[in-house]
Amino acid sequence: MDPFDSFLKDYSGVIPDFQEYLEDLRRPMPLYFRINTLKTSMAMVKNLLARDGIISEDTCIPELLLIKKQDPSRQLLAYYLGLIYPQALSSCLPVLALSPGRTDRVLDLCAAPGGKSTHMAQLMRDMGLVVANDRKLGRLTALMANIKRLGITNTIVTQARGEHYTSNIQFDKVLVDAPCSGIGRYRIDPAGRIRHMRCGKTDLPAIQKALILRAFDLLRHCGVMVYSTCTLNVEENEGVLHYLLQKRDAEITHWEPPVTWSPGIDKFRKQEYDSRVRLARRFYPHKVRSVGFFLARIIKR
């Protein structure tokens, strides 16, 4: 069976308003710009974009604009000046859930290309400390370029496999935006082909479980961690949370997102997960007008 057909069969009873979801996959993904408030204001950027013929509107996230009309061939001065960062609405949610403060020591375990790391630095007003890590040297180039372009100074970059990350300090906050199958990014093109489908035999849940355990162990007592993915796959989401709850004294906490969400799933196929995974948050593309996402806010007890 085709991987997408298999996905449809398994999730038709899981995703709310499933027919609406399928119809949404045929629409272009909405474009958003996060405004870099370290350098500028929302009003200034909106005026600058308007002069370039770009129509935008506010969203439920104060620093994020929905782009309604843009010439895709036009190079934007605001981008090169580091005033904006193209970022999906749902991609901002893990950082909002983590809520890093100005005195926090924060680790972004899988950071490249830097959307969430730079968003954290922005909310911290470029104070405290952000450690942005990624395992692949090639991905660090984009990460460092974005940090420099946005004018951020509170962030250092490290290269290591997240599963084996070592540190002499414990962190107040840790973000694990784990590598995943990316089902939340799926689109169907006019020819009926699935865009953004990842192929391969990598055991993603095994990698994700190793990452979440290591991240948890790097937290200080009562520290906060967010685990997130851009997939709708239960084994990569609730299955990973279940594993953490069995292995560590962790607690998933309530978080109220600013967009429509669904609870985590504690029963899938023939598998039953710890009921606490229902405190996780699922974001479906047709409900949030953005990439499908999953996140859980976790405290180290």
pTM over 0.85: yes
**Residue 81 amino acid letter:** L
* The pair of three-digit structure tokens given for residue 254, joined into one six-digit string: 């309530």
Per the structure, the complete domain to which residue 59 belongs is given by 30-87
Mean pLDDT of 61-74: 83
Cis, bond preceding 62 (omega within 30 deg of 0): no
In the numeric block, which tokens belong to residue 251? 């607690």
Any domain includes 219 = yes
pLDDT per residue over 15-33, tens digit each? 999 999 999 999 999 999 9
First to last CA, the chain: 44
- Check residue 6 and report its DSSP letter: H
Of 44, 61, 87, the residue at which a domain comes to its end is: 87
Q: What is the CATH number of the domain that holds 83?
A: 3.30.70.1170
Query: What residues are paired with 246 via a beta bridge?
Result: none
Are 239 and 294 in contact by the 8 Å Cβ rule? The answer is no
Within this chain, do residues 175 and 133 fall inside the same structural domain, yes or no?
Answer: yes
- DSSP characters over 9-39: HHHTTTSSSHHHHHHHTTSPPPEEEEE-TTT
Distance of CA 199 to the CA centre of its chain: 21
For 42-72, what is the HEC assignment? HHHHHHHHHHCCCEEEECCCCCEEEEEECCC
**Mean pLDDT (the chain, rounded):** 94
pLDDT computed for residue 53 by the predictor: 87
- Domain assignment present for residue 22? The answer is no
- Mean per-residue pLDDT, 73-94: 92
Beta strand 105-108 with 171-177: parallel, antiparallel or unpaired?
Answer: parallel
Q: What is the pLDDT of residue 1?
A: 56
Q: 150 with 238, same domain?
A: yes
Check if the beta carbon of residue 91 is closer than 8 Å to that of residue 97: no
CA pseudo-torsion sign 120, 286, 233, 273: positive
Residue 61 makes CB contacts below 8 A (sequence gap 6+) with 89, 92, 96, 258
pLDDT value at 165 more than 70: yes
Query: pLDDT digit string (tens) for 247-259?
Result: 999 999 999 999 9
Cα–Cα distance between 241 and 253 in angstroms, integer? 12
Is-catalytic flag, 60?
no
Domain count, the chain: 2
Question: Has residue 23 been placed in a domain?
Answer: no
Specify whether 55 is located in the same domain as 156: no
Among candidate residues 92, 110, 180, 230, the one labeled active-site is 230
Round to whole Å and give the CA distance between 68 and 57. 7
Confidence band of 206 (pLDDT split at 50, 70, 90): very high
